[in-house]
Amino acid sequence: MTDDSQLSNVMTRGAPEAHQRALILKRRCAHCAEPVSARILLKGEACEGCGRVSRWQRDADADALILALDARWSRRRWWVYGILAASTFATGMFPLAATLLTVAAMIYARLAIIRSPLQWFDPLRRFTSRFTLRLWMLITGLMALVCNELLTLVPWANMPLKMLASVLFVALFVEGSIFFLRGRLRRAASGDSSLQLWEWGLPLGLTGAALGISAAAVAATLFIIEAAQGLWAMFLGWI
Ligand SMILES: [Zn+2]
């Protein structure tokens, strides 16, 4: 046993292994409990506060981290879906209300559910992941906008239909983001910081999709306006 680990054993006597692991999963030093960067833990570098090394157990800790985040995600997302369903049902007859509530739910989910795991990533993976998730929010938000505003035109059933559409698109955003994060987190927590090609390709593809959906939404709006004007002119011609 080295002097260093003997010292470490003396200093942490009474602090059981489970407590140390819990600290590490909260991105804290296992010895002095100071917050440390993910890089220091994942690469086994010395703590900037006390100079000791918190040992990251590659596979075991990667699993435990994802389990802890899963528990946190599942606690919060049912509240988001429940409140969103009730509020979009109640405001279903008004234009834009359901869309605004949908966007608000996405922003809340982003802050409360999706943001914190990004801190475990290297700068490059954090950049591509954040960009990917923002584009995913833009795309699901645009689809919710188009869908909800078209449903305003269905006067007898717009409340339940808007509720369904809003929950569907928020769930698509949240569950898609969690699926993506779980995979990236497992890779990062297993100590592999290299980006795969598709981690660059996905945000580029989503940018194209976002542009395509925006163009389609504008074209559809112009078409509806033109069709309405044509009908109106025909109607005026008749009378
Ligand atoms: Zn420390």
Q: Kindly state whether residues 18 and 69 are assigned to the same domain.
A: no
Measuring CA to CA, which residue among 88, 41, 45, 34 is closest to residue 62? 41
How wide is the angle at C-alpha 19 spanned by C-alphas 115 and 23, nearest 5°?
Answer: 30
Ligand 1: distance of its center to the CA of 10 in Å? Answer: 15
Query: Across all residues in the chain, what is the average pLDDT?
Result: 86
Q: What is the DSSP letter of 119?
A: G
Task: Quote the ligand 1 centre to 30 CA distance (angstroms).
Answer: 7
With tokens 């078209």, the residue in question is 150
- Whether 179 maps to a domain, the answer reads yes
pLDDT of residue 76 exceeding 70: yes
Residues 214 and 173 reside in one and the same domain: yes
Q: What stretch of H or E contains 36? A: none
Angular region, 83: left φ>0, alpha ψ -120 to 50, beta rest? alpha
The answer to whether residues 203 and 228 belong to one domain is: yes
Average pLDDT score over residue span 11-16: 55
Structural domain total, the chain: 2
pLDDT in tens, 100-134: 999 999 999 999 888 888 989 989 999 999 999 99
Same domain, 12 and 77: no
Q: Quick one: what percent of the chain has pLDDT higher than 90? A: 45
Q: Are residues 37 and 67 in the same domain?
A: no
Distance CA 180, CA 187 (A): 11
Cα 13 to ligand 1 centre (Å): 15
Q: Is residue 194 part of a domain?
A: yes
Q: Which amino acid is at 51?
A: G
Domain that holds residue 215: 58-238
Whether residue 63 lies inside any domain: the answer is yes
Tokens representing residue 194 in the block: 């290299």
Say how far apart CA 200 and CA 207 lie, in whole Å.
11
Is 69 in the same domain as 102?
yes
Pick from 36-40, 92-96, 167-171, 201-205 the range whose average pLDDT is largest.
167-171
- Domain co-membership, 94 together with 206: yes
Its pTM stands at: 0.81
In a domain, 168, yes or no: yes
Which residue has better confidence, 14 or 49?
49
User: What are 26-64's pLDDT values in tens digits?
Assistant: 999 999 999 999 889 988 899 999 999 998 888 888 888
At 13 the pLDDT is: 52
16 and 81 both lie in a single domain: no
Q: Is residue 47 part of a domain?
A: no
My answer on whether 30 and 67 are in the same domain is: no
Task: Give the three-class secondary structure for 237.
Answer: helix
For residue 54, the CA-to-ligand 1 centroid distance in Å is 8
